[in-house]
Amino acid sequence: MKQKVLDKGFIEVVDSLGNDLTVVNSARVSFGKRKTKYDNSDRKLVRFLAKYKHYSPFRHLQVQFHIKAPEFVMRQWYKHVVGIETSSSSSTKDHAWNEISGRYVPVEDFYTPEVFRQQSEDNKQATEGAVKDQDSAKHHWEQAMFHAKEQYQKLLNMGVGKEQARAILPLNQYTEVYWTASFQAVMNFIELRNEKTSQWEIQEYAKAMLKITHDTFPKITEIWAEAHGWEMDV
């Protein structure tokens, strides 16, 4: 399963652990019970767990993602991983994160927006609408990209190490990670980033992640979305 995001990015599921019954049986073990077939009573149980934040059964579902995203998107993403991991009540302690290294692999891909947005007048960290002169904005962007990539390649050709030469590259360079996380951790990310005040680019990744998680755990994802009042456009 693979979802294209932005111009050159993607999210794909590499592996997963568990299924829709995993949450049910993890909760029912308290009563010494186990089921082999999912039914309507299980749906009611899962909805109760999600609505009233009994989250531990959801952590038994695990997903390993392969993600390709611009560096500035990935830095926002990793704040969730580190920030929540340091909390004793973390929903993402059960995670792993490994990233491609620019020390070993030369950087090749860079993100270019389809639309250049203008700075919001009442929100210092947000954008709204489009700048009037899209052609000039794209020209300046492409010029900056051309010079950055050209000088980076010249440094590599001179024998400068990749670990040092990469420092001149801009934040729109694409990077890749493997992220393994529990279902709850994934839902936490989606809730925080599939939200209108988040940067548009990371919203696109959150939407793609919701779609691909639904493909992996359809019943549980639908019930979670229903319990939290999310719209499911999948």
Alpha-carbon distances, residue 138 vs 6, 113, 115, 199 (angstroms): 16, 8, 9, 19
Q: Catalytic site residue 193? A: yes
How far is residue 114's CA from residue 109's CA, in Å, rounded to a whole number? Answer: 16
Instruction: Name which of 187, 190, 193, 189 is nearest 224 in CA terms.
Output: 187
State the Rg of the chain over Cα: 21
**CB 29: neighbour CB atoms within 10 A?**
11
Residues 6+ apart with CB under 8 A from 194: 203, 206, 207, 210, 230
Q: Which residues pair with 64 in a beta bridge?
A: 15, 180
State which H helix or E strand residue 175 sits in.
Answer: strand 174-182
Q: 39 by DSSP, 3-state: which?
A: coil
At which residue do the structure tokens 């560096």 appear?
71
Q: 81 by DSSP, 3-state: which?
A: helix
At which residue do the structure tokens 């049910």 appear?
24
How far is residue 24's CA from residue 36's CA, in Å, rounded to a whole number? Answer: 10
List, by residue number, the catalytic residues. 193
